[in-house]
Amino acid sequence: MYLIKKNDKLSLTLEGKNAITGYLFLLPFIIGFLAFMFLPILESLRMVFSNVKISQEEAGFSMEYIGLESLNKVINIDPNFRRFLLEEIGRMLLIVPAIIIFSLFVALILNQEFKARGFVRAIFFLPVILSSGIMVGLETNNSLLNNMADIIKEGNLMKSSVTKVLEDILVAEGAASDFMGYIFRVINQIYDIAMASGIQIIIFLSALQTIPISMFEAAKIEGATSWECFWKITFPMVSSLILVNIVYSVVDYFMRTDNRVMEKIIQAIVKDLNYGFGTAMAWVYFVSVISIIGIAMAIISKRVYYYE
């Protein structure tokens, strides 16, 4: 209820005032979306069901309705799209949980009192800056980094990795398991995980700083250990931000330019100028990502703790 009746007059409740504040923060995005993105999205949806022909003479294009032909080509005929999509979903299921755990762990450390805490926080935020468009361009055009990348790829082809020796020992001794295999794969991708965790660390850090210190003091008086304080106080209080970070991490992962599905879509639209097929892939990809986010939210939101 956003309205309450006081002295025969309707007035906003605290929840209503917070809702209005939230809508005001969203208003610039809504205006920008309607002004600059809504019509292009509708145009791309038309392209999915059309054969787009480029006209060099008129410096434009024309669309001929072909129904579900492009979607059928994407889903049933193209030999790579479904395979790439399933592979990327599998990689996402590997990386996103590791990003959430790593981000929460680092945020817990950065929330402690120690010297040069601000400097250390800035270091963990550097991946956000380094992954921006300008830095990615510099990295792409840097011959030294390209040579290093080639060496790393050659090493991977030779089955070398950070955990290869330990993994071989455990396999030889029969101590390896599916869980240990997951841990090895996460460790081998720790660079990508750290580079993708900057925003999540900040979100968790802001959530940790909103937890009243009095709650921990009361728990300590009752004899609670640090481990119990984490599971009974810290984790429930930041659980709503875990959901936010999961949604952000999933979207961020699927928007990466080194994503094989994204590469295929860019190849079709930008290089091959096959707008109908490319937009069909993009919309199938979009629906797949939205479905994954919806399933994740439906499962996790039931266990999220909200507090006033």
Is 19 inside any structural domain? yes
Q: pLDDT higher for 152 or 91?
A: 91
Name the residue range of residue 29's domain.
1-48
pLDDT in tens, 156-207: 544 445 556 566 665 555 555 566 667 777 777 777 788 888 888 888 988 8
One-letter amino acid identity for 31? I
Is 35 inside any structural domain? yes
Is 3 inside any structural domain? yes
pLDDT in tens, 224-264: 888 888 888 888 888 888 888 999 999 988 888 778 888 88
Query: Coil, strand, or helix at residue 33?
Result: helix
pLDDT in tens, 47-88: 888 888 877 666 677 788 888 888 888 888 888 888 999 998
Is 214 inside any structural domain? no
Contacts of 293 (CB under 8 A, 6+ apart): 247, 250, 251
Amino acid 159: pLDDT: 47
Average pLDDT over residues 266-270: 87
Burial class (CB in 10 A: 0-12, 13-18, 19+), 70: buried
C-alpha angle 295/256/140, rounded to 5°? 170
Is 218 inside any structural domain? no
Q: What long-range pairs does 49-54 form, CB within 8 A, spacing at least 24?
A: 50/276, 51/276, 52/274, 52/275, 52/276, 54/273
Burial class (CB in 10 A: 0-12, 13-18, 19+), 40: exposed
Amino acid 58: pLDDT: 61
Is 17 inside any structural domain? yes
When divided into structural domains, the chain yields a total of 1
Is 26 inside any structural domain? yes
Is 305 inside any structural domain? no
C-beta of residue 102 within 8 angstroms of C-beta of residue 194: yes
Amino acid 157: pLDDT: 47
